[in-house]
Amino acid sequence: MPRVLLDHNAPKGLKAVLADHAVRTAYEMGWAELVNGKLLDAAELSGFDIMVTGDQGIPFQQRLAGRRIAVVVLSDTGWPTVRQYPELVRDAVDRAGEGAYIAVTLPRPPRRRRPVPAQDP
């Protein structure tokens, strides 16, 4: 069973979406203060296979080549969006092999238009 770490900005609801994986959050691991490379290092040293994050700058900020841990980056980490597309997240996590970088583009839900109030004549 793959071990998955949810970064600080990943919605906790992903634990239910990824119920067939061993999922922990950075906070649960006591890594609230760790960010970027230090978080990746800690996760990798602790045996996590995959980290899910919303940090789209990771491939530019961190050297991912040679790492064992895979990184899945979500285009949107808002739970209202993520919960509408659980299959996209599950598929990316299931495809994430050692050292992989997978970007998941989640469609944005259409914006609701507010009704225009009727004007008095």
21-46: pLDDT as tens digits: 999 999 999 999 998 889 999 999 99
- Cβ-defined contacts of 11-15 (< 8 Å, 24+): 11/77, 11/78, 11/79, 11/82, 11/83, 13/79, 13/82, 13/83, 14/52, 14/82, 14/89
Q: What SS3 state is found at 38?
A: helix
Q: What SS3 state is found at 72?
A: strand
CB contact set of 107 (below 8 Å; sequence gap of 6+): 81, 84, 85
Q: How far apart are CA 74 and CA 84, in angstroms?
A: 13
Whole-number percent of the chain with pLDDT over 70: 94
Region for 71 from its dihedrals, namely left if φ exceeds 0, alpha if ψ lies in -120 to 50, beta otherwise: beta
Q: Is the pLDDT of residue 113 over 80?
A: no
H-helix segments, 72-113: 79-82, 86-95
Q: Is the pLDDT of residue 85 over 90?
A: yes
Q: Of 34-43, 54-63, 98-107, which gets the smallest average pLDDT?
A: 54-63
Whole-number percent of the chain with pLDDT over 90: 71
Kindly report the CATH number that applies to the domain delimited by 3-104. Answer: 3.40.50
pTM, two decimal places? 0.86
Q: What pLDDT sits at residue 110?
A: 66
109 falls in which pLDDT band (50, 70, 90)? low
Select from 42, 49, 97 the least CA-distant residue to 28. Answer: 42
